[in-house]
């Protein structure tokens, strides 16, 4: 196997994925850029290759809801990474703000398909390569992008919130299942990030209007870097969210009231 550590990033064309790609490439990792936006990852690859060299970057167009495409992407990646897959970063996701009865049900189902099944497909496709890397080098990682909405269900984001609760649950379960293989599993849970996916919403939730942008993509890329080297299961975007998570488990009624107030439902 190669001596250079490697990472697959889904949803790499923009936002958190793009910032994470830059962060890891600067630190001499072999970076695989995958996104349904093939033009976007090609442009990012051109930028990174100009700085870090052609041998450090590979790309592919990937719909994470297609398990065959994901399998092919992983096989193509390890063919050029020296057989290594140190980190699988399941980051691809979609978001639509609005009351449930104001959003097309087809889009709600797509949210589950991308945000939940995309993680399942990624883990299924990458697990053998992660096992082999952990066996050879003593460590491999799965990092999933969850959300602050995985702390407590959020109105006007209900299906999205449910998808991120599922990601959190998978993170916790996989972290136990895969520990014997030397694979550490964790997630990152940011609040609203300064990305097009958030800012370009036709309808902005009252909660978003009240709280606003909490992080830059670079902020979250730094947290992903910590997750690639740390031992925690959940990496929260800030201390306030970590405290809210503890409160949601101890005093769910209090957190519910706070969310209702901030979301304009009282």
Per-residue pLDDT, averaged over 69-94, amounts to 97
What distance in Å separates the CA atoms of residue 217 and residue 193, rounded to the nearest whole number?
Answer: 6
Q: Quote the strand ranges of the chain, DSSP E.
A: 6-10, 30-35, 57-61, 87-90, 140-145, 183-189, 234-236
Q: What is the pLDDT of residue 206?
A: 63
Residue with tokens 């895969």: 178
User: Is 90 exceeded by the pLDDT of residue 198?
Assistant: no
Q: What is the pLDDT of residue 11?
A: 97
User: Is 80 exceeded by the pLDDT of residue 5?
Assistant: yes
- The structure tokens listed for 164 are 């991120």
Q: What is the pLDDT of residue 266?
A: 58
Q: What is the pLDDT of residue 112?
A: 98
37 found inside a domain:
yes
pLDDT band at 53 (very low <50, low <70, confident <90, very high): low
Strand pairing category for 234-236 and 183-189: parallel
Helix axes 38-52, 15-26, angle to 10 degrees: 20
Per the model's pLDDT, the better-predicted residue between 105 and 263 turns out to be 105
Domain span holding position 140: 6-262
What distance in Å separates the CA atoms of residue 208 and residue 21, rounded to the nearest whole number?
Answer: 27
1 found inside a domain:
no
Q: What is the pLDDT of residue 208?
A: 63
Q: What is the pLDDT of residue 143?
A: 98
Q: Model-level pTM?
A: 0.92
pLDDT band at 210 (very low <50, low <70, confident <90, very high): low
101 found inside a domain:
yes
Lowest mean pLDDT of 123-132, 176-185, 257-266, name the range. 257-266
Closest CA to 191 of 229, 219, 228: 219
Q: What is the pLDDT of residue 264?
A: 66
How many other C-beta atoms are found inside a 10 Å radius of the C-beta of residue 219? 16
User: Is 80 exceeded by the pLDDT of residue 207?
Assistant: no
Q: What is the pLDDT of residue 259?
A: 82
**CATH number of the domain residue 20 falls in:** 3.40.50.720
Per-residue pLDDT, averaged over 217-229, amounts to 96
Give the total number of structural domains in the chain. 1
What distance in Å separates the CA atoms of residue 13 and residue 43, rounded to the nearest whole number?
Answer: 8
Residues annotated as catalytic are: 160
Query: Average pLDDT over the chain, rounded to whole?
Result: 91
């Amino acid at each position: 196997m190669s001596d250079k550590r490697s990472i697959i990033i889904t949803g790499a064309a923009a936002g958190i994925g793009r910032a994470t790609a830059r962060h890891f490439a600067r630190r001499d990792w072999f970076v695989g850029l995958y996104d349904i936006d093939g033009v976007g990852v090609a442009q990012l690859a051109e930028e990174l290759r100009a700085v870090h060299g052609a041998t450090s970057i590979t790309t592919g167009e990937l719909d994470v809801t297609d398990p065959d495409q994901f399998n092919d992407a992983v096989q193509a990646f390890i063919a050029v990474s020296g057989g290594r897959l140190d980190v699988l970063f399941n980051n691809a996701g979609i978001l639509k703000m609005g009351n449930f009865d104001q959003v097309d049900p087809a889009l709600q189902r797509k949210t589950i398909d991308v945000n939940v099944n995309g993680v399942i497909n990624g883990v299924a496709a990458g697990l053998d390569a992660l096992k082999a890397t952990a066996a050879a080098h003593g460590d491999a990682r799965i990092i999933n992008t969850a959300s602050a909405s995985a702390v407590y269900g959020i109105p006007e984001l209900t299906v999205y919130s449910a998808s991120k609760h599922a990601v959190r649950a998978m993170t916790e379960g996989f972290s136990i299942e895969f520990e014997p293989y030397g694979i550490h599993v964790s997630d990152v849970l940011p609040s609203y990030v300064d990305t097009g996916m958030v800012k370009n919403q036709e309808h902005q939730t009252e909660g978003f209007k009240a709280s606003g942008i909490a992080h830059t993509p670079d902020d979250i890329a730094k947290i992903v870097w910590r997750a690639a080297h740390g031992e925690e299961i959940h990496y929260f975007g800030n201390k306030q969210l970590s405290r809210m998570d503890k409160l949601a488990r101890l005093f769910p009624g209090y957190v519910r009231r706070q969310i209702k107030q901030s979301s304009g439902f009282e």
